């Protein structure tokens, strides 16, 4: 199974559907995690920049040796390719 990432916040989704959000009909979302997406709607109506600001702290906690500067640079590079932010 290919590695999948939430198409809103970039979080790795692992090998199960446990972390996925839910659609309005109760099915699992195939694109977004449960933090970003619930009952067919995004949990927070934010811009890509706000999402990056929000994600900096968890990334720093989860990736040893990562600096805030490189975390932001990485997300600025990666996020525009995610489905939610592609336009």
Residues of this chain that bind Zn ion (CB under 5 A): 6, 8-9, 33, 36
Nearer to Zn ion, 3 or 65 (CB): 3
The CB-side HSE value for 80 (13 A sphere, CA atoms) comes to 5
Query: C-beta of 80: minimal distance to Zn ion in Å?
Result: 15
Query: C-beta of 32: minimal distance to Zn ion in Å?
Result: 6
Quickly list H helices, 1-87. 48-62, 68-78
The enclosing H or E element of 37 equals strand 37-38
Using alpha carbons, select from 24, 31, 23 the residue that is nearest to residue 5. 31
Query: C-beta of 64: minimal distance to Zn ion in Å?
Result: 22
Nearer to Zn ion, 35 or 87 (CB): 35
Nearer to Zn ion, 8 or 52 (CB): 8
28-33 and 41-42: which strand pairing?
unpaired
């Amino acid at each position: 199974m290919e590695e999948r990432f939430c198409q809103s916040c970039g979080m790795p989704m692992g090998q199960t559907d446990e972390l996925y959000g839910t659609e309005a009909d109760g099915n699992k979302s195939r694109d977004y995690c449960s933090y970003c997406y619930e009952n067919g709607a995004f949990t927070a109506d934010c811009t890509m920049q706000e999402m990056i600001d929000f994600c900096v702290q968890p990334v720093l906690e989860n990736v040893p040796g990562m600096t805030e500067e490189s975390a932001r640079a990485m997300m600025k590079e990666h996020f525009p390719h995610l489905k939610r932010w592609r336009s």
